[in-house]
A and B are shown apart, each in its own frame.
Chain A
Amino acid sequence: MKKSFLYKNFLFLAFAILFFSCQTDNDTNPKEKFAFKTPSNFPKPTYNLQENPITLEGFELGKKLFYTGILSRDGTVSCGSCHAQTSGFTQHGHDLSHGIDDKLTMRNSLPIQNLAWAKNFFWDGGVFHLDLFAISPIEAENEMGETLPNVLQKLRNTEGFESPKTDYPLLFEKAFGTKEITTDRFLKALSQFQLMCISANSRYDKHVRNENTNENKLTTQELKGLELFEQNCSNCHSTTLFTDQSYRNNGLKIGNPNDTGRHRITQNEEDKFKFKVPSLRNVEVTRPYMHDGRFRNLEAVLDHYTDGIQDSETLDESLKSTLKIELNQEEKEAIIAFLKTLTDEEFLSNPILSEF
């Protein structure tokens, strides 16, 4: 039954894509490559793709917008500045991401991957629709320091620009039919690019889908790590997305007392110092870890769970009783070996997502 449901969904998607490609252009081949495909081991996307059907032109525009400095006040910062593809779309080597005028932000940038399945965005879940997500970094004075109306105006002002400069109204026309640059179109184009950042081809995924060749098969140690992971970690980092998308206090020592996490959004005392459970896909390349990037490597993360958990009023129930996860050195190594099977080389080097 489950299979037929999936099958139906696929048929529907296929039809939607066919329908769309017939409508816009006669050259359908490149578009089919851009069809949004739900990987067979993934659930149904949260994002409503019917409201923003992905097209090659929309995706290309979104990619341009993702990598342009126009989004920032002085042209120095693009989305890609803090979200580099090779680091799983995070800012490599920075505990706290930094934006315009070298100002530090409060947090470590989260990866841009599998956002079609995300319910909320940011470490505190303050934004709950992907289309609304980009406004925050554009307008934060320590990120891009711009205003959305001004970005839209700067884009409108590029009309008639010739290569190598970009004529954005022309790109909007290709993507949406007219040159008009609206809030909605701008944000939808950015979403189209981000929605296509799908990571589902790690060795783990291929293991789950029985696609691994002999030399690619998970090793005994990795399989042992998977087993340990399922016993000790998947309560929160539930598999497939490797996050249950909840907000929890995992017992970190309080760093910045002003960053109360989820509490900043809800103002509920019980949400103090709770942060989103991050996905562990590509975790090998998204270091450093935690909302403030305090742990430089995975060993430090596991050491926290075995020896570093601080009790507090909002500490997660699953850690309350023991204040630790019991793991010996060998088990930690196995878990780390397993976590590295979540690295998706195809995604990290996919040329269609890259800036150049």
Chain B
Amino acid sequence: MNTKFNFSKIAFLAFFIAFSTALSSCKKDSETEPEIDPNKKGMLEIKFDNIVGQDDFTLGKDYQNAAGETFKVDLLQYYISNIILKSENGSEYIVPQEESYFLIKEHDENSRNIQIPNVPEGNYNELIFTIGVDSLRNTMPPAQRTGVLDVGVEGAGKEMYWSWNSGYIFFKMEGTSTAIEPTDTNPNGKFRYHIGGFGGYDTPMFNNIRTISISLGRDAAKTREEAMPSVHIVVDILKVLEGTTQISLSEYPTVMVNPFSLKVSENYMKAFEYHHVHNEGHE
């Protein structure tokens, strides 16, 4: 079995390299990849790799922001929701909303790999998703807030919900910085960024729901019944503090329910970037 697998894999790679170098415009050749049968379904994986600049991001490690402040992060987690996959031929797969909420936690590697089932076969070259939780879900009763949205479960909605205003925290980053002057109420120089706000239920209020589109450029995630592609998205944590607006931690150690949070969410939109795709597994 092993040798057979290797053989077919090598054969596939040989074909793939040959065709992609010599005939890159001739994409639809059935010998380079299995044909697409839109009636068949497969899976698609999205991996979120938190990074800092060029390096892997590590909790508890010292980093420096553009303001020259040294800081470390103890907790980093955010919601990804309402995922749409767009294919090369323009068709879209909208992940059913009930199954489209994910809480990405830096401290939990499994949570960083999202696997989407029941994806029609296709070559997907664009991902659209929301960083946070859509407004409609924010207004629903607890029966519709299950899984990672369950406000009564540790490690899920419990840590990502403002109980006094019904709203979810979309993006949470906490840590310490030597640049933050210790005070009686903040002796360890903590910073707390709890970003949320869905636009209000019956009175308009600030809205930090950020939906972004990520292009895979000339690449595509090739979902087949027997092959699950894996798209790697890198999330540059430094951008949270400097994506568009340079933010000083000593000036803003706490950002929660405050219109300034709009600057932070505008920043972290810029943190998400396509890195690469793995299309192994085409046997």
Contacts and interface: CB of A to CB of B under 8 A. Distances in A.
A183 B142 contact: yes
Interface in A245-289: 247, 262, 264-268, 271
B204 interface: yes
Interface of B is mostly: loop
A132 interface: yes
B164 A268 contact: no
Given A126-B165, A128-B202, A264-B165, 14 more contacts: A51-B143, A122-B164, A125-B203, A128-B139, A129-B139, A129-B140, A131-B141, A131-B142, A132-B166, A135-B151, A148-B151, A183-B150, A262-B203, A268-B204
Contacts of A139: 163
Task: Report, as a range, how many residues of chain A touch the other chain.
Answer: 20 to 34
Contacts of B202: 119-120, 128
Nearest to A263: B205
Nearest to A48: B141
Given A182-B152, A184-B142, A267 B164 contact: no
Interface string A150-194: 001000000000000000000000000000001110111000000
A129 B152 CA distance: 16
Contacts of B150: 182-183
16 contacts: A120-B202, A126-B166, A127-B166, A132-B142, A135-B152, A139-B163, A147-B158, A149-B152, A149-B153, A183-B152, A188-B143, A262-B203, A265-B205, A267-B206, A267-B257, A271-B203
A136 interface: yes
A135 to B, nearest CB: 4
Nearest to A130: B141
Interface of A: 51, 119-120, 122, 125-129, 131-132, 135-136, 138-140, 147-149, 152, 182-184, 186-188, 247, 262, 264-268, 271
A262 B151 CA distance: 23
A266 B152 contact: no
A136 B164 contact: yes
Nearest to A128: B201
B203 A268 contact: yes
A50 to B, nearest CB: 12
Contact of A187 (B142, B146, B258): B142
Contact of B152 (A120, A136, A186, A265): A186
B168 to A, nearest CB: 12
Nearest to B260: A267
Interface of B: 139-143, 145-146, 150-154, 158, 161, 163-166, 197, 200-206, 257-259
A51 B141 CA distance: 10
Contacts of A136: 163-164
Contacts of B158: 147-149
Contacts of A148: 151-152, 158, 163
Contacts of A188: 142-143
Given A267-B206, A268-B203, A135 B163 contact: yes
Nearest to B261: A267
A197 B151 CA distance: 26
Contacts of A147: 154, 158
Given A182-B152, A268-B203, A127 B165 contact: yes
Contacts of B197: 267
A265 B198 CA distance: 11
Given A122-B164, A126-B166, A267-B257, A132 B141 contact: yes
A143 to B, nearest CB: 10
Given A51-B141, A127-B165, A147-B158, A267 B259 contact: yes
Contacts of A135: 151-152, 161, 163
Contact of A267 (B139, B140, B141, B258): B258
Contacts of B258: 267
Given A131-B141, A182-B152, A126 B164 contact: yes
Given A136-B163, A148-B152, A149-B154, A266 B200 contact: yes
Nearest to A262: B203
A131 B143 CA distance: 9
